[in-house]
Structure 1
């Protein structure tokens, strides 16, 4: 069954390739982002761009790559990056810096907030040193998950470069080895290894860049895992114990982690494509899906189009972004975009209009 589904998947890619041959891209790769104030997006999900929202004094609070951001219960916006002078920057919603900390995460990448009955913790993934850290909101390290070979889950020679984590309803820790061996590893709340699933490949239950992972609580009676397979332009759904369920195919969109807000699903798109489906630099945008996992808006990207129920190729339309690595949606439904490889830019705010 999985092989038949995979053949259908590649047939879709072939059809999209043929369509892309005649597509004329809207954007110019060397164009500079437009000034603040432009409105982007589609339908009822449109946003005003505030490019300078998160700008700080780079001599005091430098950034390299702004990788991810979360909002805590106090409304603070917490960003992780890979600049060891200040891995963590904490903003208020006006863009004012509240605090900064963190010097031990040279590849600071994944940032997950876990609210455990009112007490909040962060999980920080660092693929450069191959570790996952649980910290309090001040940066005190409470738990470290190291190379899985230490618990017999990997060979010592296997790459372990964790990119993201998620915490299940029972406290189970899920780690996505998105830059390493493409496994999803499960641990107890105390960091004891349980098992792993996935791995590298093109079957439905496998991954190609398992970059992000999140718990989908939209069906409250049946929470599931939604896991990025970025090079497949897809999110893949699994049960909480690792059984494959389905794929959300997003042609043209190299999506990062899934982010849920209400009934909607948001994601940064790190790259889109040009003709012949080649991965294109500086071509990111944001994508938004509704409760039925249908794309309803692409801020910075082309308007989503469905033909006979099939989503068509999505591309960057305007050079607002370079590589959207993550989005954070605040309590007022504004979006904050973190970018990778974007000339050391700070987070960009998209104000809901």
Structure 2
């Protein structure tokens, strides 16, 4: 077994050669800067043999009021405790391939909303029991004649309206009421100011009053960007551009975390100034790369960041788009 050689690059310590399955031998990596400094938790969420329990990941992360972490994978949704133990699973065809998730505390409990790209629908299910209470197929009432419906992102307005982005197909964004009734759609595919070239991610931006939509226009030319739209689908402004391939967004207080498929996570403040860049991957062979197996993972270096979420203490959970299924816990340094 090779010994671990550690070097310092900016604020990041990288363990280069330890085998991925020997999690107890891997040192935490510190990344970020200032008030957005984090330490990784090597081996978080692994089984007793040091392996990921997820299988291929191409999804998101949410956290419930009790602090349980939900992440979506090809096989379904797996729920972890904050210390990385699996507490329940929602597996099978009804829960597979959820590309994006939001969680919402409602009168009848906590519910997860999911965009299922490969299954051409949005869903809503009980976060504790898994009971599916709503499905959102392509709305024929829209009058659109689409060859394909491939939703990538979902979010929920304060009044319960559901917004679903068809980011892998038409790039229309559809709005439904809380019962699933089609209301309207907006946007279209293109590289114009008010067009989307892969409306890949979306969330409710609660940093502002009233809240607005924050949309990740992942493949916009020449560089990926974030946009603000109001809840009626009206363009407001370009938030920031030059982000590579922004995949999703998660809000806590005045901050937003934005995974970039190029293998990094960007944190912005309320003025949308970059506060920190985490896990930056400088190797073109392993970034934007689904096929990096677990034994090739490098602690503190991402390969294709796809989803993220903050817990109540400001820690981050980050999912990579990855063949072996990678979910990382980053503990914020106080």
Same fold (TM over 0.5): yes
**SS of alignment partner, residue 155 of structure 2:** strand
**Superposition map of 1:1-353 within 5 A:** 35-56=26-47, 61-65=53-57, 67-83=59-75, 87-104=76-93, 105-117=95-107, 119-137=109-127, 138-148=129-139, 150-155=140-145, 157-220=146-209, 222-232=210-220, 233-271=224-262, 284-301=263-280, 320-341=301-322, 343-353=323-333
Q: TM-score, normalised by structure 2?
A: 0.81
Whether contact under 8 Å (2:153, 2:201) holds in the other structure is: yes
Whether contact under 8 Å (2:244, 2:260) holds in the other structure is: yes
Whether contact under 8 Å (1:55, 1:346) holds in the other structure is: no
**SS of alignment partner, residue 251 of structure 2:** strand
Cα displacement (A) at 1:255? 0.9
Cα displacement (A) at 1:297? 0.4
Moved over 3 A (4+): 31-36, 57-62
Whether contact under 8 Å (1:126, 1:162) holds in the other structure is: yes
Cα displacement (A) at 1:244? 0.4
**SS of alignment partner, residue 95 of structure 1:** coil
* Residue-by-residue CA offset, 1:139-185 (whole Å, 9 max, x unaligned): 1111111123x324421x43210011111011110001111110110
Cα displacement (A) at 1:126? 1.0
**SS of alignment partner, residue 219 of structure 2:** helix
Whether contact under 8 Å (2:102, 2:155) holds in the other structure is: yes
Cα displacement (A) at 1:212? 1.1
Cα displacement (A) at 1:328? 1.2
Whether contact under 8 Å (1:66, 1:347) holds in the other structure is: no
Question: In 1, Cα distance between the equivalents of 2:81 and 2:132?
Answer: 24
Cα displacement (A) at 1:113? 0.5
Match of 1:17 in 2: none
Whether contact under 8 Å (1:237, 1:245) holds in the other structure is: yes
How many equivalent pairs are there?
292
Question: In 2, Cα distance between the equivalents of 1:207 and 1:323?
Answer: 21
Query: Over aligned residue pairs, what C-alpha RMSD do you find?
Result: 2.5
Whether contact under 8 Å (2:54, 2:325) holds in the other structure is: no
Cα displacement (A) at 1:265? 0.8
Whether contact under 8 Å (2:247, 2:258) holds in the other structure is: yes
Name structure 1 gaps, 5 residues minimum. Answer: 1-26, 272-283, 303-314
Question: In 2, Cα distance between the equivalents of 1:134 and 1:254?
Answer: 27
Question: In 2, Cα distance between the equivalents of 1:290 and 1:200?
Answer: 29
Cα displacement (A) at 1:213? 1.1
**SS of alignment partner, residue 151 of structure 1:** helix
**SS of alignment partner, residue 107 of structure 1:** coil
Cα displacement (A) at 1:267? 1.3
Q: TM-score, normalised by structure 1?
A: 0.77
Name structure 2 gaps, 5 residues minimum. Answer: 1-11, 21-25, 282-286, 289-298
